[in-house]
């Protein structure tokens, strides 16, 4: 029997007390001010004042709350700089080209992700240092991300990086072994200056569809062919990366396990099976419970959920399912909408504005030459539409909060 994923997710979050960045609560120890303690232990010999000896009232200053670090940064960033925080620009894995450096520096991209294969760990560290120099604005450093899943999807595999087996192999390990291994892989990323791994894949690929499923099954990217198997791998991987100080992104909500085409290379990709509350969404809830940093949204269309919008542009998917059903208050990120064939028919600027309007935060754009257009579109819409401007501010706040969690925000 299929179980409603919303109930499973809420149960998991209640047990763990952790809904990922943006939805965690921390309760510190309760303390009693010393003045309160003193007033309850006054000596009985102390005479009470007479009517003619009215005590002089003590004036207590009204407490003021200093603005948070995130509030400071929001105020310091211009609207264009805020919009830049929402774009993750693709650069060569071996380092920025001159043209890419110009884009990152001028647009102050809030993040970059490494496209293609990179070099050694030492060379990657040099490349990421250059990114920090180009993209840091007002004490806010960029996210630097890689697709470091394993198997056929491992961007960084030069000297200093372990060769990571495919998820289908990782999924056969015990949870403790996978967590230990993921922590080691994450430590290598951290040494290289990478702070985000755009993994793990939480998609469930039914065994009967594996050979026909181009984006996941044919590439051995799934942890298992049942929600339970996939969820176990997702949790262990997320925990290991968290231990190493690396942010993660469970992907590709609400799943690419039942489609046939790969949205990177094909258009019109649709899932005609998955429904809201589907049992196959459980691995995403498991990733959230384990403390993932982001939830990545697919560019496919889910006809039984929102037939009129690709998932990345769907308020039903993002606001209704991710933020509502799963209770996720953290960062929501797109799959690539820069070079992906699935979105080629959508005007470049709209790829960014429609995603933010639907409730999303970070736009992955593999084509660095499109970044300025996306940033300009976000700025223009925010200037014209107060409702959209409020959504943009909320998105930037979530991004800055996550960056603060990972030590990427400096406040004086």
Q: CA 87 from chain center: how many Å?
A: 12
Residue 49 reports pLDDT greater than 70 = no
pLDDT, residue 66, reads 62
pLDDT, residue 32, reads 30
Q: Rg of the chain's alpha carbons, rounded to an integer? A: 24
pLDDT, residue 330, reads 98
Indicate the range of 25-39, 126-140, 369-383 predicted with least confidence.
25-39
Comparing C-alpha atoms, which of 315, 320, 313, 316 is closest to residue 335?
313
Comparing C-alpha atoms, which of 350, 347, 353 is closest to residue 387?
353
Residues 201/85/132/403 CA torsion (nearest 10 deg): -60
Domains of the chain, CATH where assigned: 71-405 (3.20.20.300)
Which residue did the predictor score with more confidence, 249 or 65?
Answer: 249
Residue 37 reports pLDDT greater than 90 = no
Instruction: Tell me the average pLDDT of the chain.
Output: 88
Q: What are phi and psi of 113, to 5 degrees?
A: -135, 145
Residue 51 reports pLDDT greater than 90 = no
pLDDT category, 272, cuts 50, 70, 90? very high
Comparing C-alpha atoms, which of 155, 144, 153 is closest to residue 196?
144
Tell me the pLDDT tens digit for each residue of 352-390: 999 999 999 999 999 999 999 999 999 999 999 999 999
Q: Report the C-alpha gap between 342 and 252 in whole angstroms.
A: 14
Question: For residues 275 and 352, is the Cβ–Cβ distance under 8 A?
Answer: no
Query: Residue 161, exposed/middle/buried by CB under 10 A (0-12, 13-18, 19+)?
Result: buried
Q: Concatenated DSSP letters for 221-266?
A: --S-SSHHHHHHHHHHHHHHHHHTT-EEEEEEET-STT--S-TTT-
pLDDT, residue 54, reads 46
Residue 165 reports pLDDT greater than 90 = yes
pLDDT, residue 152, reads 96
Residues near 316 by Cβ (< 8 Å), separated by ≥ 6? Answer: 276, 305, 306, 309
pLDDT, residue 10, reads 41
Per-position b or e across 10-37, b if 16+ CB within 10 A of its CB: bebbeeeebbbbbeeeeeeeeeeeeeee
């Amino acid at each position: 029997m299929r179980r409603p994923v919303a109930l499973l997710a809420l149960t998991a979050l209640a047990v763990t007390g952790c809904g990922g960045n943006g939805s965690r609560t921390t309760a510190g120890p309760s303390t009693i001010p010393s003045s309160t303690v003193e007033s309850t232990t006054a000596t009985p010999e102390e005479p009470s004042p007479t009517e003619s000896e009215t005590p002089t009232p003590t004036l207590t200053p009204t407490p003021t709350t200093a603005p948070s670090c995130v509030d400071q940064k929001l105020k310091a960033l211009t609207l264009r700089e805020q919009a830049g925080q929402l774009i993750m620009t693709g650069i060569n894995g071996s380092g920025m080209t001159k043209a890419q450096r110009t884009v990152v520096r001028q647009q102050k991209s809030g993040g970059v992700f490494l496209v293609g294969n990179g070099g050694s760990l030492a060379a990657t560290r040099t490349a990421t240092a250059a990114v920090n120099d180009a993209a840091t604005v007002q004490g806010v450093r960029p996210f630097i991300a890689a697709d470091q899943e394993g198997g056929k999807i491992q961007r960084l595999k030069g000297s200093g990086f372990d060769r990571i087996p495919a998820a289908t192999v990782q999924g056969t390990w015990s949870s403790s072994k996978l967590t230990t291994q993921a922590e080691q892989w994450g430590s290598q990323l951290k040494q290289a200056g990478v702070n985000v791994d755009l993994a793990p894949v939480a998609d469930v690929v039914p065994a009967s569809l594996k050979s026909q499923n181009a984006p996941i099954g044919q590439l051995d990217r799934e942890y298992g062919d049942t929600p339970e198997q996939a969820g176990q791998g997702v949790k262990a991987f997320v925990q290991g990366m968290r231990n190493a100080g690396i942010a993660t992104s469970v992907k590709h909500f609400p799943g690419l396990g039942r489609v046939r085409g790969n949205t990177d290379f094909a258009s019109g990709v649709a899932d005609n099976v998955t429904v809201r509350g589907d049992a196959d969404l459980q691995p995403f809830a498991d990733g959230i419970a384990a403390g993932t940093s982001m939830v990545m949204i697919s560019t496919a269309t889910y006809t039984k959920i929102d037939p009129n919008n690709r998932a990345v542009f769907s308020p039903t998917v993002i606001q209704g399912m991710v933020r509502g059903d799963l209770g996720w208050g953290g960062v929501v990120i797109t799959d690539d909408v820069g070079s992906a064939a699935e979105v080629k028919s959508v005007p470049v600027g709209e790829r960014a504005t429609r995603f933010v309007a639907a409730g999303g935060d970070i736009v992955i754009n593999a084509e660095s030459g499109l970044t300025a257009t996306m940033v300009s579109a976000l700025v223009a819409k925010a200037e014209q539409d107060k409702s959209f401007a409020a959504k943009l501010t909320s998105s930037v706040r979530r991004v800055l909060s996550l960056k603060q969690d990972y030590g990427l925000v400096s406040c004086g």
